[in-house]
Amino acid sequence: MGSVTPPPSPSVVVRPEVPDDAATVRDVVLRAFGPGEEVVADLVDTLRASSAHVPGLSFVATARRPDGTEEVVGHVMLTHSWLDAPDRLVEVLVLSPLGVVPERQRTGVGGALVRHALDAADAAGWPLVFLEGDPGYYPRHGFVAGGGLGFVAPSDRIPAHAFQVVPLSGHAPWMRGRLVYADAFWALDCVGLRP
């Protein structure tokens, strides 16, 4: 049995990202992914400025400092993509990236962000949320291998075990086919697992 991530501290709150958070979010992503991975922060900025941006589906996790001020310690965003289904294109979401500052990793912050994002997507009627990520982490939040449900990854550079999906209540069985990423993923070559 795998380890279970503890719930975040009660002092951690997940809320929608607001425009004033942009620079702080970039810093969180840079810290989360580390040196040499600036392209991930560029992806956040590019997606936010593109037609893939879905207002209200980008979230930050905040914690209270000892002086009572708020500190952003994590971020996740869901952006618009498509599923090339047999009958027609279906609008779907991609969860990418998820970033938590190093000192808050493995404390439940990432899980709280993922759960909050999935609940918001489900409430808004989206049928599917895709990602490419660690199969040891995301299944605890409802993600399963996409290939087993009839979905095809957008690139051969995405390992089968990393291409994952969570069907939401708006999903119907006919919705299967190839995921088509938004342009920003291709323009910045953010396809395939980060090393």
CA atoms of 6 and 40, how far apart (whole Å): 26
Tens-place pLDDT, residues 61-75: 999 888 888 999 999
CATH assignment of 12-188? 3.40.630.30
Q: How far is CA 132 from CA 91, 97, 143, 174, in A?
A: 18, 9, 10, 22
At residue 3, the pLDDT reads 43
- Residue 151: CB atoms within 10 Å: 24
Identify the weakest region by mean pLDDT among 7-11, 48-52, 106-110, 152-156.
Answer: 7-11
Instruction: Tell me what pLDDT residue 192 has.
Output: 85
Q: With CA atoms as reference, report the closest residue to 83 among 152, 132, 142.
A: 152
CB 100 within 8 A of CB 114: no
Q: Please give the pLDDT value at position 68.
A: 85
Q: Are 116 and 59 in contact (CB under 8 A)?
A: yes
Instruction: Tell me if 45 sits within 8 A of 26, measured CB to CB.
Output: yes
User: pTM score > 0.85 for this model?
Assistant: yes
Does residue 175 contact residue 86 with C-beta atoms inside 8 Å?
no
CA torsion sign, 173 to 113 to 25 to 41?
negative
Contact 127, 170 (CB under 8 A): yes
Residue 11: pLDDT over 90:
no
Helix (H) or strand (E) holding 31: helix 22-33
Q: Where in the chain are the domains?
A: 12-188
Render pLDDT for 105-134 as a digit per residue (tens, 0 to 9). Answer: 999 999 999 999 999 999 999 999 999 999
Do the beta carbons of residue 44 and residue 94 sit within 8 Å?
no
Q: What type of residue is 105?
A: Q
